[in-house]
């Protein structure tokens, strides 16, 4: 009986924090490109509207102003993304195709051009792709296993955040505390992706997810290359899952930042939808699935921003 009890205790060992999301060391932070970092910190980011999240419910208009929608030649959405500066969008590498034509911002309800609340109306805005700078795909991206499935899109002009005050960037993880995700923390997913029965959501959806130890996904998907470039994510109690049209959409959570003596919170993007390996739309089984780990690519992001900004 003693042996069985000890064995059970060993199997229930609580994983180390870095099994969820590797925290950066000082060298990682020092290797951020200073110009790229300045571009990310140029504007206020990740503003929080205080609404309670629930599964599969419509987002409040303007709740997530960094949401981007990638459009094809027929102006049909096929992937998501996030605004990270006035000129750049972060998305999944597998979303960069020859059919990519433009990026839409400020969208809420797809079926209407103008979205209105009781007090305000807003219209979506379409931006083209910079003709002199192709989208930048992570050099280690592998289409066979979605390794480093992350990319940057440079727009053909800057987003004027004052003119389009319903559009704003999300924060990226630039300080150690941004990486300190705990199992109890709520991660938020937003997108218009395909739902059950392959139907697109007309209105932006939102839901909660939880992070799991990386070895859970390694054991479930032994044929896939799973390392620190991935996050192991599981549906929360409200059964939120990502679907095909959600690819590139941001996964984010609330992090602290200081203004003088005061500590406030904003949203920081920690991942993006890459592949829900082993998941079908509407499949709410208990198995976790994988997201691209944005924090693991921050050195590349800051350097790529610098080079793409100046068209190097």
Domain ranges within the chain, ordered by starting residue = 17-309
138 catalytic per annotation: no
- Please report which confidence band the pLDDT of residue 4 belongs to, taking 50, 70 and 90 as the band edges: very low
How confident is the model at residue 16, as a pLDDT? 43
Query: Which among 115, 138, 147, 149 is annotated as catalytic?
Result: 149
Centroid of chain to Cα 215: 21
Query: Strands, E, within 65-182: which ranges?
Result: 67-71, 77-83, 88-91, 102-105, 114-116, 121-123, 125-128, 136-137, 151-154
Q: 11: Cβ–Cβ under 8 A, 6 or more apart, which residues?
A: none
Choose among 244, 254, 293: nearest CA to 271.
293
Contact assessment for residue 220 and residue 278, using Cβ atoms and an 8 Å cutoff? yes
126 catalytic per annotation: no
Q: What is the average per-residue pLDDT within 69-78? A: 92
CATH number for the region 17-309 comes to: 2.40.10.10
How confident is the model at residue 241, as a pLDDT? 53
How confident is the model at residue 163, as a pLDDT? 94
CB neighbourhood size of 10 (10 A): 8
- Please report which confidence band the pLDDT of residue 74 belongs to, taking 50, 70 and 90 as the band edges: very high
Instruction: Return the H-helix or E-strand segment holding 217.
Output: helix 214-220
pTM of the model: 0.85
Query: Which among 82, 242, 247, 295 is annotated as catalytic?
Result: 247
Mean pLDDT, the chain, integer: 81
Q: 43: Cβ–Cβ under 8 A, 6 or more apart, which residues?
A: 85, 86, 161, 168, 169
Instruction: Return the H-helix or E-strand segment holding 24.
Output: none
Query: Distance between CA atoms of 236 and 218, rounded to whole angstroms?
Result: 20
The three-class DSSP label of residue 251 is strand
| Structure confidence by residue, pLDDT tens digits, 208-254 | 888 888 888 888 888 777 888 899 888 765 555 555 557 899 999 98
Query: Is pLDDT at 11 greater than 70 in this prediction?
Result: no
Q: Hey, CA dihedral for 129, 102, 167, 261, is it positive or negative?
A: negative
Query: Is pLDDT at 256 greater than 60 in this prediction?
Result: yes
Query: Strands, E, within 276-310: which ranges?
Result: 289-293
247 catalytic per annotation: yes
């Amino acid at each position: 009986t003693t042996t069985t009890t000890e064995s059970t205790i060993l199997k229930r060992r609580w994983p180390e924090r870095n099994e969820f999301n590797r925290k950066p060391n000082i060298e990682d932070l020092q290797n951020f490109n200073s110009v790229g970092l300045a571009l990310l910190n140029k504007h206020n980011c990740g503003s929080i509207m205080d609404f309670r999240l629930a599964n599969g419910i419509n987002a409040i208009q303007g709740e997530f102003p960094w949401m981007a929608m990638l459009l094809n030649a027929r102006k049909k959405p096929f992937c998501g993304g996030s605004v990270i500066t006035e000129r750049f969008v972060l998305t999944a590498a597998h979303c960069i195709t020859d059919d990519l034509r433009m990026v839409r911002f400020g969208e809420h309800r797809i079926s209407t051009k103008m979205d209105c609340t009781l007090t305000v109306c807003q219209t979506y805005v379409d931006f083209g792709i910079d003709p002199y700078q192709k989208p930048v795909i992570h050099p280690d991206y592998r289409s066979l296993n979605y390794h480093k499935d992350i990319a940057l899109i440079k727009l053909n002009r800057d987003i004027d955040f004052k003119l389009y005050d319903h559009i704003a960037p999300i924060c990226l993880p630039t300080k150690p505390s941004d990486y300190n995700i705990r199992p109890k923390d709520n991660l938020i997913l937003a997108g218009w992706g395909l739902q059950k029965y392959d139907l697109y959501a007309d209105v932006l959806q939102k839901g909660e997810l939880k992070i799991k130890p990386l070895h859970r996904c390694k054991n479930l998907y032994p044929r896939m290359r799973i390392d620190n470039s991935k996050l192991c994510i599981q549906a929360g109690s409200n059964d939120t899952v990502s679907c095909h049209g959600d690819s590139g959409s941001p996964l984010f959570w609330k992090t602290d930042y200081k203004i003088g003596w005061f500590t406030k919170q904003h949203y920081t993007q920690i991942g993006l939808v890459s592949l829900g390996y082993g998941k079908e739309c509407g499949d709410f089984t208990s198995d976790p699935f994988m997201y691209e780990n944005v924090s693991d690519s921050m050195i590349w992001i800051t350097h790529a921003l610098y080079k793409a900004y100046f068209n190097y």
